[in-house]
Amino acid sequence: MSESTIRIMLVDDQELIRTGFKLVLLAEPGMEVVAEASDGIDALAVLDRLAAEGSGCDIVLMDVRMPGMNGIEATTRIVARHPATRVIVLTTFDLDEYAAGAIQAGASGFLLKDARPSELVDAIHRVAAGDATMAPSVTRRLMEQLRNAGGEPVGFAGIAQAGSGEPDPALEVLTERETEVLKLIAEGRNNAEISGELFLSESTVKTHVGRVLAKLQLRDRVHAVIFAKQHGL
C-alpha cells in the first residue's frame, strides 16, 4: 500500500448506504476503505483496534442518526482519543443544529448524503490534506449567521459571541500578517483569494494559514471562522 493512500472508515447503521459509499471510494485511486461500523460504539472499538495494530485510519465518514451512540457523540470521542483521525459527518438532513453539533464535536467536514460522488471524493482529499469542507447550503447559512454581529447564529449558541471592540489577548500570539489572514479566512476566502488580497504567493498564504491554525490550536478553517467570530473579528 502506498504511503499516500487515504485510509477510510465508514460508519452508518444502514449497510446499504455503507455499500454505496464503498463502491464509490473503491473506484478512486489512492483511497482504501479499511473498516466499517454500524454505530458510534462500534466505530470507537474498531479505531482503538486499528490504533493498537499500528495501522490507524485517516478519515471517518460518520452518519449522525444511529442507535446507541450517535455520530455527534462518536465524533467528540474520536477527536479526543484519535486526534490524527479526521471526521466528515454525513447526514440526510440539512439542519443547522446538525452542522453546529458536528463542528462543536470537532468534525472537519459536514456533507449531505445526496452529495455527488465527485463532491464526496473532493471533500475527502481536502480534509486529508488538513483543510475543511461543508455542504454549500450549510456554508452559506453559516457565513450569513456569523456575519450577523447583532446576535448569535441559529443553532450555534455558546460558540459565537459579538466582539467587544477591545484587543483580545487570545490574538496576541499572532503576528499582524497572521491576523490579517485570519480575518480573510473568517470572510470565507480561499488561499487563492487571500493571495490576491494580500499580494502574497499561495505557498506563503498556506504557510500563514498553517501557523494561524497551529498557534490558536484550531483543527481547520471551519473552526478558524468560529474562533474569529468568537473573538470579535
Which tens digit of pLDDT belongs to each residue from 192-212? 888 888 888 888 888 888 888
User: What CA dihedral angle connects 121, 226, 171 and 173, to 10 degrees?
Assistant: -30
Per-residue pLDDT averaged across 61-83, rounded?
Answer: 88
pLDDT tens digit string along 127-162? 888 777 776 656 555 555 555 544 444 444 444 444
pLDDT score of 55 more than 70: yes
CATH topology of domain 6-137: Rossmann fold (3.40.50)
Q: Measured between alpha carbons, how far is 11 from 194 in angstroms, rounded to an integer?
A: 35
pLDDT score of 94 more than 70: no
Query: In sequence order, what are the residues at sequence separation of 6 or more whose Cβ sits closer than 8 angstroms to the Cβ of residue 154?
Result: 96, 145
pLDDT score of 3 more than 70: no
User: Which residue has 470537532 as its cell numbers?
Assistant: 106
| Lowest model confidence (mean pLDDT) among 91-95, 175-179, 186-190 | 91-95
Specify the CATH architecture of the domain 161-230.
Answer: Orthogonal Bundle (1.10)
Residue boundaries of the structural domains of the chain: 6-137, 161-230
Q: Identify whether the C-beta of residue 86 lies closer than 8 Å to the C-beta of residue 58.
A: yes
pTM of the model: 0.64
Query: In sequence order, what are the residues at sequence separation of 6 or more whose Cβ sits closer than 8 angstroms to the Cβ of residue 54?
Result: none
For residue 97, name the pLDDT band (cuts at 50, 70, 90).
Answer: low
pLDDT of residue 151: 43
Give buried/exposed letters for 167-203 (b at 16+ CB in 10 A, else e). eeeebeebeeebbbbbebbbbebebeebbeebebeee
The pLDDT > 90 percentage for the chain reads 18
Q: How many CA atoms does the CB half-sphere of 165 hold within 13 Å?
A: 1
Distance of CA 171 to the CA centre of its chain: 22
More confident residue, 52 or 2: 52
Per-residue pLDDT averaged across 5-27, rounded?
Answer: 91
206 forms beta bridges with none
Mean pLDDT of the residues in the chain: 79
pLDDT score of 224 more than 60: yes
Per-residue pLDDT averaged across 220-225, rounded?
Answer: 76
Q: Do domains 6-137 and 161-230 have the same CATH topology?
A: no
Q: Among 2-6, 19-23, 201-205, 207-211, which range has the highest average pLDDT?
A: 19-23
For residue 43, name the pLDDT band (cuts at 50, 70, 90).
Answer: very high
pLDDT of residue 159: 41
